[in-house]
Amino acid sequence: MHRILIAEDEARIARFIDKGLRANNFVTTVVADGHSALDEALSGNHDLLVLDLGLPGRNGYGVLRDLREARIALPVIILTARDTVRDTVAGLEGGADDYMTKPFRFEELLARLRLRLRTASTSVVEATLLSVDGLSLDLRTRRARTATGTVDLSAREFALLELLMRHPAQVLSREQMLDHV
C-alpha cells in the first residue's frame, strides 16, 4: 500500500485528490502549507508527493529545492495552475519528476502517479528493518523484537504490525487496515 503526501492549499482540490486516491487504495496525508509539506516529506513516511506550487508559508519551489538539497529522492509530481513553459521548466529542472497543470483529469494524475511509483520502486532498495519506539520489525524474517525478546508473528499479525509501524502516530481507518491485511 503506497503512501501519498498531498500538499495543496485549496481545500476543494485537496479533498478531491484525497478521496480519489483513497478510493484507489492509497494511504494519504494532506497538508495545506509549505512548511508542513516539507516536514512531512522529510519524515520518510511517504512514497510520493503531489505538490502545489502556490502554497502559503513556503512555496512549492522552496519545498522542492529543500528536499533535493537534503538528498531526499521522494518522487514529486507538481500539480499547479501555473502553466507557462518557464514554470514547467523551472519545476522539472528543480527536481520534480513530473508536472501537471490545473484543471486536470484525475485519471491522468492517477496514471502518472502509478508510473512514478513503479519507477521509484525499481530503483530504490527498501529497508529490511522498521523501528518505532523500541520495537523493531524485521521484514525478511517476519519477527518483531522488543527489549524483552523476539516474537514470531502470524501472517496477519505481521501485515498489521508492518502497516502500523510504517504510519507511526497516524490514525488509520478500519478500511485501510482491512485492505492491507
What is residue 56's three-state secondary structure? Answer: coil
Average pLDDT of the residues of the chain: 89
* Domain ranges (residues) in the chain: 3-123, 129-180
What is d(CA 120, CA 94) in angstroms, rounded to the nearest whole number?
18
**pLDDT computed for residue 127 by the predictor:** 60
Chosen CATH of 129-180 out of 3.90.1150.10, 1.10.10.10, 1.10.150.20, 3.50.50.60 = 1.10.10.10
What is residue 155's three-state secondary structure? Answer: helix
pTM: 0.67
What is d(CA 123, CA 53) in angstroms, rounded to the nearest whole number?
26
- Written as one letter, the residue type at 103 is P
Q: What is the pLDDT of residues 6-25, one digit of tens each?
A: 999 999 999 999 999 999 99
Chosen CATH of 3-123 out of 3.40.50.1220, 3.40.50.2300, 3.30.360.10, 3.60.15.10 = 3.40.50.2300
Count Cα neighbours of 13 within 13 Å in the Cβ-side half-sphere.
21
Q: What is the pLDDT of residues 41-57, one digit of tens each?
A: 999 899 999 999 999 99
Are 3-123 and 129-180 equal in CATH topology?
Answer: no
